[in-house]
A and B are shown apart, each in its own frame.
Chain A
Amino acid sequence: MIAARDAFLAAIRRGDRQAAFRSLDDALDSGLDLRTLYVDIVQPSMREIGRLWQANELSIAEEHLATAITESAMSRAFERVFVWRDRRTPRLIAACADDERHQMGLRMLCDLLEMEGWETIYLGAAVPVESLTALVAARAPDAIALSATIAPHVPRIRAAISAIRASAVAHQPVIAVGGRAFLTDPSLAQKVGADLTASDAGEAVRILTERVRDAGASS
């Protein structure tokens, strides 16, 4: 697994899409599951790319190239393990509120939940709060996942949560928050009004599954 991570990181660092695809293909062929690919290979590689940019060892363009390649590689890996299902439940909506553009963590969460049988509605980056609230009202999800990487986006998550709580009266969804802003300070999740946070997509799948099941049992 560490060899696979090193191979993937080296590939995205030099902007080599084919080598990145190859390293995840090899990892799947060797028997690793999607969760291990995402949590133990892709996520630490992307954190290292961020650190390399901070250390002035990668340019912004190179960092964006690494991100774009990683998103393609994730799509490809997901495609390889995808299974058709007639019925998918529970339902989750995932979004980055307002100006937030770091969407990859939510993408991982949605893919992993889909593998567990959930129906996920992935909105990606920069969703205006009013528009998100309207979609939540229309789709009545069991859970919502919101992500913030940098602190300036945290108050918008708080605004989104309070708008959702105010509008979804009949059916209160479980609300999860994640991203680097919450990783460095887990108590922030409670301050913005969320029900839970998690340190990575794998842990988020486990906690969300428990919480949504409990909410179902008590209603």
Chain B
Amino acid sequence: MAGGTLGGASASGERAARLLLVDREALAREVTAALYAGSPELLAVHGERGREKCLQDMRYNIEHLTPAVELGDPAMFAGYVEWLDALLRARNVATRDVVRCLELLRERCTVRYPAAEAATIAGIIDAGLAVLAR
């Protein structure tokens, strides 16, 4: 087992995970800015502190996305998204805003990254979105 091929891990997954690791802060900021630009009412609902929390949550989201991408494990990210949605609903954040964040993250990765890496990341994000569509 040691050093052998791991379950769903792939070369594009490992490259994509490295990209996410390097770009975490930039991606988190881009997604937060895009979310608030597209839904200005969020600022009225959650305030400036809400925007800061959103940015911090985006950092966490990318931190949880990265190992799922690296290990090729969509269930890992789906489990996280399910947990996150329950946590945020208990704090007055709507599921539709979590969905929007993940969609924006998928878009930003598609813009930034080569097709193979972007597709690997999108596949994992989609597993998270599927949980929220239930």
Contact = CB atoms under 8 A, between A and B. Distances in A.
Interface in B8-33: 8-9, 17
Given A54-B90, A56-B91, A151-B64, A187 B83 contact: no
A181 B67 CA distance: 11
Interface string B60-79: 00011011101101011101
B64 A188 contact: no
A162 B79 contact: no
Nearest to B68: A151
B87 interface: yes
Given A152-B63, A191-B7, A161 B2 contact: yes
| Secondary structure type dominating chain A contacts | helix
B44 interface: no
Contacts, number: 62
Nearest to B71: A191
A90 interface: no
Interface centre among B67, B68, B86 (most CB of A within 10 A): B67
B83 A165 contact: no
B2 A162 contact: yes
Contacts of B8: 191
Given A162-B3, A165-B2, A187-B7, A155 B67 contact: yes
Interface in A135-161: 150-152, 154-155, 158, 161
Interface of B: 1-3, 6-9, 17, 63-64, 66-68, 70-71, 73, 75-77, 79-80, 83, 86-87, 90-91
**What 9 A-B pairs come out closest when comparing CB atoms?**
A165-B2, A56-B90, A191-B7, A152-B63, A54-B87, A55-B90, A151-B67, A155-B67, A191-B6
Given A190-B7, A191-B9, A193-B2, 20 more contacts: A55-B87, A56-B90, A150-B64, A151-B76, A152-B63, A152-B67, A154-B67, A154-B71, A155-B67, A155-B70, A165-B2, A166-B2, A181-B76, A188-B71, A190-B1, A191-B7, A191-B8, A191-B71, A191-B73, A192-B6
